Structure 1
Amino acid sequence: MIRDQVLDNQIEWHMNEIEKHLDQCFDNINNFIDQVFFIDSSISKSSNPKFELTLPKIHQFQLIHQSDFQSRILQQLKPLINSKIKDECQFQQQQQQHQQSLIIQQQQSNLKPFTYQIIKEHSIKQSEFCLAIAFNKDSSIVATGCNEQIKIYEFKQGMLKLIQVLNQHNQYVNTLNFMKKSNQIISGDQSGSILIWSSNNNTQWNCSQTIKGHINWVNCLILNYNEDIFISSSQDKTIKFWIKQNEWICQQTITDHTSYVYQISLNEQQNKLISCGADKKILVIEYSEQSQKWIVIQKINVECYGIRICFINNNLFTFQPIQGNLMHVYEMNSVSKQFLKTKDIDVNQGQEGYTLFPQQFIKQKQLLVNKHDKYVNFIRITQKDQFKLEQSIQFGHNLLFGQLSDDGQYFITWDRSNNEIQIRTYIEQ
């Protein structure tokens, strides 16, 4: 009898210990989830495929001090633990998306009518073709591609002051981007070369790497939020993904287009890329965590090709054909997960010349800039993903290039009819 009592006590003690250890186990899981989503809570990081691959997995944690018996129990609980982690991750992502939606709705409700007004006295004569324009992260520096040169300007109170000219390109510069974190410049030209420029203090840039990236024009260069990947599209019919090791190297090449590839665009979650080409196709390319490769998941045939395309959010993008008076809107079907054309937006009637002026979306102002023929259209995305044409600026020639600053405050253009760089500022009415 006494022996049975002792055995019962021992069993009860072990069960209590197991319960304590299991509680500690789940506490550690919750702390881990909190660490992932709150200590480093950037939405861009938590949704970045490369970042997710670096997250510790359940088998990498010794959540509790384990006896053999406890280890067997924990092994049986692993599916439950993994399910809990997955559910928590999905819940946190849903919460983040909901918060972002509320922020956007608040921004949209506060937006007022506006115009971009030219600052005529700040225009600069520019006889060479200016085929690319870029702002740095705080709009204090502007870079312009002028034939084979890159001109670096200090930008203050809507005025440009030339501070450096870069001469290492051998062909016309088609595309320019500032890297926001490292403050480097990345440029692509009509020979297929990609150059990386570095600066210590925003006053002098030097070429730190030359990449023979393509065998024909580089039409578009974009960076992900973390700036550990950049993507290039070209008239050699390819899209290339580049990663940073000691230097930038090509990690993957997409060859599904059968003609020139023009603009490319990443979604907010940074796991989907869209491209448009002269082959009358739009490609939707998705990052696969399993294979760690980018895979073409959808090919959209269009009646008229276009050279401008842009993600608005994860489920919505816009596309401008070169002919007609309509800009197309594509939305992801919630069931099929395929993008379908759902509406057309009226823009000015015209025939697009070959100009690489990209579509650009400014989230802070819910504003899309879309060039078509001789016109630049500023389109506001209102609540429930409605599109409203707020302003259309007509130029004298369709050879026209431009860029908005990251906050949408300034708009800089060059066009063939004026042969000058013009500066416009955002003014609410």
Structure 2
Amino acid sequence: MQIRCTQAGHQNQQIIGFCIDSTCPNQRPYCNFCLPLHSEHLEMLTSIELLFEWIQNGILRIKNVEKNVQEFKVALDSLNNMFLPYLNFDIQQFPQLEGSQIDKLIEDLCKMEDCEKNLFKQLKQSIEQGKLIVNEIVKKIQNQFSLEQNDGIFKPNLKPFTYEQIKDNSIKYDDDCYAIAYNKDCQIVALGCNKQIKIYEFKQGILELLQVLNEHSKWVTTLYFMKKSNELISGDGDGYIKIWSRNNNNQWNCSQTIKAHNDCIRCLIMNNNEDIFISSSDDNTIKFWNKLKEWMCQQTITDHTFYVFQLSLNDQQNKVISCGLDKQILIIEYSEYNKKWIVIQNINVECHGYRICFINNNQFIFQPIQGNKMHVYEMNSVNKQFTKTKDIIINECNGNQGGLFSLQFIKSKQLLVNKYDNCVNLMRKAQNEEFIVEQSIQFGNYCIYGQMSDDGEYLITWDKSSKEIQIRKYQEK
């Protein structure tokens, strides 16, 4: 997204973010020269990369309001239907009624009278209060936006696409490369190459080596670039997590080493505020880490009984899902009351899977190791439990999946990235909520590791067959 600032005297500077403070009187798109105008609410400035997610969450809130309104309307309609026989009753017909009919009429009206004394009065007060709230909402937002005018503005581009390999930019590498991560502006890429972390400059699809980090004693399995700071988190096959900071000379140094788990780190994710990261391991545990002066473990979940593979956070950042070798999916929710993460649901599955990913607050996808289907789980609005609602058909598989290549959902492109057997499937979420396989990239072996950039522009992979770090770029057809 290339937008230039229109403020006088700002020299046509490039827009670097947007202000989401509802009371801000200034121009919302801001450049570097605009920052003093937003000095009183800097915490309400969001980057271009995170704006789409913020808008998506806002649309989701509107959908939730609409859903609640519809549920209330259904309840009122049900109540209204019960009144219809009495609303249509002709009092002139009373002398013609039989005794049993009169008895039934009296009984029903007595029940209504009982409700009138208390419940109907409460309902009337609630409806009057609801009308006041609705009128205030309408007044607040009237003339500020129109759903008809905005229709289509926030929808991602759904044109057909393909990811084309930039063959001249491939790098031959014989050792295993399990982990790949991009920094916030996609200009730095870190690769976990056996025990080393290789830091590359990444420009126009070209990787140029900047630095090699050699402090891990076992293979590097996970990497995560923080978006709000110049820090990188890495995990290895021996259960160690290291925090790396970049100094003024653009050199990366280890600032903290943590013996986090008793076995291989399988997954490492972070919340949007970047004050919590969550790790899973072959020691059967999930750990939540908070930063005080240093990163410290605040809580451990021990409900899994075997290796814990992928983790995923929902949009609201209050639920974590996990899948493990014990054929369990855990739904873990943060309790504001207890200030702890609590397992609120345990889903037993027929066979284990390595990959799981939230699509939004109410839907996630799980990839079992057997068969040619991905499972879609959705949350029931009444009991708040997740249940499997449908399947997504993909390519056949021999069951040789392999781990560490996480399932990814790129919101800006409504794109699901799923490694399955010897293929990387790229699926588009259509407007009818179905997932359609747009491209299936085949490799010569199931040992494939990779990561899509947050904006969906690049896919970088390493596979055991070609033994190449391959770069693919998004192209619209």
- Note whether the superposition's TM-score is higher than 0.5: yes
What's the counterpart of residue 158 of structure 1?
205
Higher mean C-alpha deviation, range 180-189 or range 345-354? 345-354
* Contact 2:328–2:347, Cα closer than 8 Å, also in 1: yes
Q: After the TM superposition, which residues 47-58 of structure 1 pair with which residues of structure 2 at under 5 Å, given as runs?
A: none
CA distance in 1, matches of 2:273, 2:369: 33
What's the counterpart of residue 421 of structure 1?
469
Task: Provide Cα deviations, 1:84-115, integer angstroms capped at 9, x if missing partner.
Answer: 9xx89xx89xx9xx999x98964546310000
Task: Provide Cα deviations, 1:161-186, integer angstroms capped at 9, x if missing partner.
Answer: 01100000000000000001012100
Return the structure number with greater strand share. Answer: 1
Q: After the TM superposition, which residues 139-218 of structure 1 pair with which residues of structure 2 at under 5 Å, given as runs?
A: 139-201=186-248, 203-218=250-265
What's the counterpart of residue 9 of structure 1?
none
Higher mean C-alpha deviation, range 165-174 or range 347-356? 347-356
Q: Determine which of 324, 339, 344 is the counterpart of 1:297.
A: 344
What's the counterpart of residue 433 of structure 2?
385
TM-score (norm 2): 0.69
Q: Determine which of 386, 394, 409 is the counterpart of 1:347.
A: 394
* Percent identity of paired positions between Structure 1 and Structure 2: 62
* Contact 2:156–2:414, Cα closer than 8 Å, also in 1: no
Closer, same or farther: CA 109–272 of 1 in aligned 2, 3 Å: closer
What's the counterpart of residue 253 of structure 1?
300
Task: Provide Cα deviations, 1:312-352, integer angstroms capped at 9, x if missing partner.
Answer: 00001001011111111101111111111111111111113
What's the counterpart of residue 317 of structure 1?
364
TM-score (norm 1): 0.77
CA distance in 2, matches of 1:367, 1:419: 26
Q: Note the aligned Cα RMSD (angstroms).
A: 2.8
State the AA in 2 paired with 1:377: N
Task: Report the 3-state secondary structure (helix = DSSP H, G, I; strand = E; otherwise coil) of the residue aligned with 1:364.
Answer: helix
What's the counterpart of residue 243 of structure 1?
290
Closer, same or farther: CA 379–352 of 1 in aligned 2, 3 Å: same
Name which structure has the greater RCO, CA cutoff 8 Å, separation 6+: 1
Q: Determine which of 320, 323, 329 is the counterpart of 1:282.
A: 329
Task: Provide Cα deviations, 1:204-227, integer angstroms capped at 9, x if missing partner.
Answer: 100000000000000000000000
* Contact 1:163–1:203, Cα closer than 8 Å, also in 2: no
The gaps in structure 1 that reach 5 residues or longer are: 1-32, 48-79
Question: Structure 1 residue 388: deviation in Å?
Answer: 1.1
CA distance in 2, matches of 1:106, 1:360: 24
* Contact 1:148–1:167, Cα closer than 8 Å, also in 2: yes
CA distance in 1, matches of 2:433, 2:334: 26
Does 2:468 match 1:411? no
What's the counterpart of residue 222 of structure 1?
269
The gaps in structure 2 that reach 5 residues or longer are: 1-20, 29-40, 47-52, 58-125
Runs of 4+ in structure 1 deviating by more than 2 angstroms, as ranges, are 33-36, 38-44, 102-110, 200-203, 352-355
Does 2:420 match 1:372? yes
Task: Provide Cα deviations, 1:277-307, integer angstroms capped at 9, x if missing partner.
Answer: 0000000000000000000000001001001
* Contact 1:107–1:364, Cα closer than 8 Å, also in 2: no
Closer, same or farther: CA 294–137 of 1 in aligned 2, 3 Å: same
Q: Determine which of 214, 223, 233 is the counterpart of 2:280.
A: 233
Does 2:409 match 1:361? yes
Task: Report the 3-state secondary structure (helix = DSSP H, G, I; strand = E; otherwise coil) of the residue aligned with 2:396.
Answer: strand
Give aligned pairs, total. 352
